[in-house]
Amino acid sequence: MTKSFLRPRLWTVVGLVTVGGLLRVSVDWRLWARSLTYPDRPITSADWYRPQQRVAGIAPQAPPLTQAEVTEIPSEALQTALAFAEAQNSVALLVMHRDRLVLEQYWQGHQATDRVNSMSMVKTLLALLIGVAIDEGKIASIQEPVSTYLSEWANDPRGDITIADLLYMQSGLRNDDRTDTLESDLVKLYGGSDAQKLALGIPLEGSPGEVFDYNNFNSQLLSLVLERATGESFGDYLSSRLWQPLGAGDGFLWLDRPRGHAKPFCCFFATAPDWVRLGQLLLHDGQVGGSQVIPQGWIEQMRRESPLEPTFGLHLWLKARTNAYPQVNRASSAPFAAADTFYLDGRHHQRVYVIPSEDLVIVRLGEDPPAWNDAVIVNAIVAGLRGQ
């Protein structure tokens, strides 16, 4: 996702109006309008994102999570986590241990019922649904070429890209992720009016399967593969196969235009407790209340290292990034104390950490932090549990 959404000066807009009129150039006015009005707080300003598609849960708001009466986590460890989260512009920090909520703190007027932008955390939901589609027989395997589902690429070298290439971020597609111009591929994908047309038009610049390159177009194309394979919109499939079985409340997707396409590379809105529920599902290998929501073994497959990047699995992060990728995360981090830690990562450091060895799920939501380090919250709590 973008570091920030470009805001051009008004005189630039006026200039484009003049040039567009003279040259009869097609202008995406929705992209321009969004760039001019983009909120200063893009994570928590949920009402700005229009139009929306409701992703139905079991109710508008899910029941409260089960609270712990006591906890094994020392208060000093929880206070360290709280102090760091508050200093890093967070709006929510929740800790679930042994299936009980031991910490739930909100800041800056945020509440448990408020929905926030997941940014790239939604990519992991997309990968989970690919596993469901395989289990249902809608997709044969992740080794299938995308031309099986994208007829537009049937006689195109891009058609040889596999579903695995998209999941592992190794497609070879152009990755123009600049955020300082409306001509950027990423800015157009984020704020423009036709995400499908942009995704299908992205050119190939390298050979698939050779270089890891975190590219948001991979996820957008993957969602199109899922929709073509299942015959359902991403939002409907997400609701029926994951969000309702999870026991979550309603969420919503941001569409590129009225009755248009969702953007599953960036923009799904849900509450902090519902992200904890998602973490619990990952912790319990896809089970919710004894029901197998995600096919057994699929989350284990998601957690296997990419052939090209040991910190990344199938749209899932596996290790703290001591040398951060600029297009993902500008801050580097110390290693995790628990080697089995894995997590969802969204722009401005939206996080769902899962630590199976300690039966822990930790959720941090908030705006852009001044000095992030992925290891601080996780390692403080793990060290406390281990008596270190």
Residue type, 258: P
Q: What's the chain's length in residues? A: 388
At 19, list the tokens.
Answer: 């040039």
Please choose, from the candidates 220, 198, 214, the residue with its C-alpha nearest in 3D space to the C-alpha of residue 146: 220
Residues 120, 349 contacting (CB under 8 angstroms): no
**Host H or E run for residue 77:** helix 75-87
What is the rounded CA–CA span in Å between residue 189 and residue 206?
A: 21
Q: Report how far apart, in Å, the C-alpha atoms of 341 and of each of 85, 335, 353, 387 are.
A: 19, 10, 7, 18
Once rounded to an integer, what is the mean pLDDT over residues 330-349? 90
Query: What's CA 364's distance to the chain center, in Å?
Result: 13
**pLDDT recorded at residue 179:** 86
Q: Is the pLDDT of residue 6 over 90?
A: no
Q: What are 34-67's pLDDT values in tens digits?
A: 999 999 999 999 999 999 999 999 999 999 999 9
Q: Which residues contact 371 (CB under 8 A, 6 or more apart)?
A: 88, 331
User: Using only C-alpha atoms, what is the Rg of the chain?
Assistant: 20
Sign of CA dihedral 127, 247, 112, 35: positive
DSSP-derived secondary structure letter, 242: I
Does the structure show a pLDDT above 70 at 23?
no
221-253, pLDDT tens digit by residue? 999 999 999 999 999 999 999 999 999 999 999
pTM metric for this prediction: 0.94
Give percent of the chain above pLDDT 70.
Answer: 91
Cis bond upstream, residue 51 (ω within 30):
yes
Domain ranges of the chain: 41-385
Q: In the prediction, which pLDDT does 24 show?
A: 45
Mean pLDDT of 323-340: 73
For the chain, the first-to-last Cα distance in angstroms comes to 37
The encoded tokens of residue 230 equal: 């299942």
Judge whether 325 and 311 are in contact, CB under 8 Å: no
DSSP state of 259: T
Q: Which of 124, 96, 85, 2 is nearest to 365 (CA)?
A: 85
Question: Inter-axis angle of helices 75-87 and 375-385, to 10 degrees?
Answer: 180
Tokens 């973490």 locate to 279
pLDDT of residue 19: 43
- Spatial strand order of the sheet with 52-55 comes to 52-55, 251-254, 268-270, 116-117
Quote the CATH superfamily of domain 41-385: DD-peptidase/beta-lactamase superfamily (3.40.710.10)
Q: What is the mean pLDDT of the chain?
A: 92
Whether the predicted pLDDT of 121 surpasses 90: yes
Ranges 19-23, 93-97, 329-333, 371-375: which has the least confidence? 19-23
